Amino acid sequence: MLLCIDIGNTNTVLATFEGDKLVHSWRIKTDARSTADELGLMFRGLLAGDNVEITGIAACSTVPAALRSLRSMLSRYYPDMPSVIVEPGVRTGVQLAIDNPKEVGSDRVVNTLAAYTLYGGPSIVVDFGTTTNFDVISDRGEFLGGAFAPGIEISFDALAARAAQLRKVEATRPRSVIGKNTVECLQSGLYFGFAGQVDRIVERMVEEIGEVRAVIATGGLSGLVVRECRTVTHHEPMITLIGLRMVYERNR
């Protein structure tokens, strides 16, 4: 099986694929201070727990310190295992039609590849993570750029930290848009506010590039508000991992 590793700012997601079929998945917190040995023990423990034998590894990371530890872990614990880390020089087939291609995170490149392969273009990927990323893909599969917005959990934390009478609450849909207590007022503003933010940014992007074939919601927090987003046409939480599988196949 192929092991795919997506290291994000908040969480690290792992999944195994048998061909194009996703078989296992795990989500753990990202700690940039984790050593190669800690990563090795953690990953091997997860795989052993489900009796998984891997034949290859594909990975991407938005956290430089975690990427260094990952490289060391692979060389120590999986020295003979075929592996691909998405970085400049790795074949993805994605053209970066932006001012500075070196600024683009590897996760956005992988998302572009997977979205275009699965749904065609033009299309838009909305990735709900530490930040909410909007990635725009042309009708030829080019990465055209996008937008960043604060993530859902960052906004919850900021309100709790900066407002004296507010506290952190569960990120979930309230009973009504009109909150009847402090908790519901917080949940309403963030839940419906983020859905409205997604819809308006997508609408403006469509005004610029024309009709799109798909708007894909992904990321660990996408399930919180995706049902309220009128512009989202597909929900694929594992699109980054699917893209990693595709990159691995292109480079082996």
Catalytic residues: 107
**Triad 85, 88, 93: Cα angle to 5°:** 90
The one-character DSSP state at 79 is T
SS3 11: strand
CA nearest to 235, candidates 125, 120, 111: 125
Whole-angstrom distance, CA of residue 52 vs CA of residue 2: 10
E-strand stretches of 86-222: 123-128, 131-137, 143-150, 214-218
CA distances from residue 156 to 15, 124, 126, 177 in whole angstroms, order as listed = 28, 25, 19, 17
Whole-angstrom distance, CA of residue 94 vs CA of residue 230: 28
Q: Which two tokens stand for residue 64?
A: 């430089």
Q: Is the separation of the CB atoms in 81 and 44 below 8 Å?
A: no
Count the alpha carbons within 13 Å of 219 in the hemisphere toward its beta carbon. Answer: 26
